[in-house]
Structure 1
């Protein structure tokens, strides 16, 4: 559905480092970086763009898709190591559907960052 999502961040370098480390288990890497900020993607298609803002960023919920539950687990560990705060460890969330396996962390600007796998355990 989305081509890209762009968000303003209060500390550009801290946010860039956080998202790169936290989303590395999904294959996310820098696609381009310039005066407008940084664009990250796992495949060069849909991307997350970060740019410095002097305004207070509104809190967002960002959910990224994982192919495997192990990626959800790896995201959670990497995000905590990158300075994220726990907002719900890896596990099933049957209130959404039977195979909804997700983890949540709070990032540098207070954004709720989620990685979710919708597939049944292999």
Structure 2
């Protein structure tokens, strides 16, 4: 449904360490993009759709636009429960803050297992696995 999405961060190196650890745990690639940004996608060979993360002001922003003070919430699909667990563990080791340990979410009817972290910029990052009944 989405082609790409992006958000700004305060410290690119700090964010890169966090996303290198967490995205690798759920099978996504962190892809070099420019000195001021990186991408998250399936792989360098199949980079679309992607998530852009950077420190510069995107060219399509209007003069005077500011980085939002509100945190974002981004949820990634994981291949299985073990990947959700690995995402959470890797994120904590890479400087993330626990915002919900791995476990069932939304009641039994949803068949959803997820973990939540706060990234170094205060954004809510989730990895989840949906078992289809």
Q: TM-score range by the shorter chain?
A: 0.7 to 0.9
Question: CA, structure 1 residues 93+3, in 2 after alignment: closer, same or farther (shift >3 Å)?
Answer: same
- Residues 23 and 30 of structure 2 are in contact (CA less than 8 Å); yes or no, is this contact kept in structure 1? no
Report what 1:2 is aligned to.
Answer: 2
The answer as to 2:53 corresponding to 1:50 is yes
Task: Quote how far apart the aligned CAs of 1:29 are.
Answer: 2.0
Number of equivalenced pairs:
121
Q: TM-score, normalised by structure 2?
A: 0.80
CA distance in 2, matches of 1:94, 1:59: 22
Structure 2: tracts of 5 or more residues without a match = 58-65
The answer as to 2:95 corresponding to 1:92 is no
Structure 1: tracts of 5 or more residues without a match = none
Q: TM-score, normalised by structure 1?
A: 0.87
Residues 84-103 of structure 1, C-alpha deviations (whole Å, 9 max, x = no match) = 01100000013484311000
Query: Whose Rg is larger?
Result: 2
RMSD of aligned residue pairs (Cα, Å): 2.2
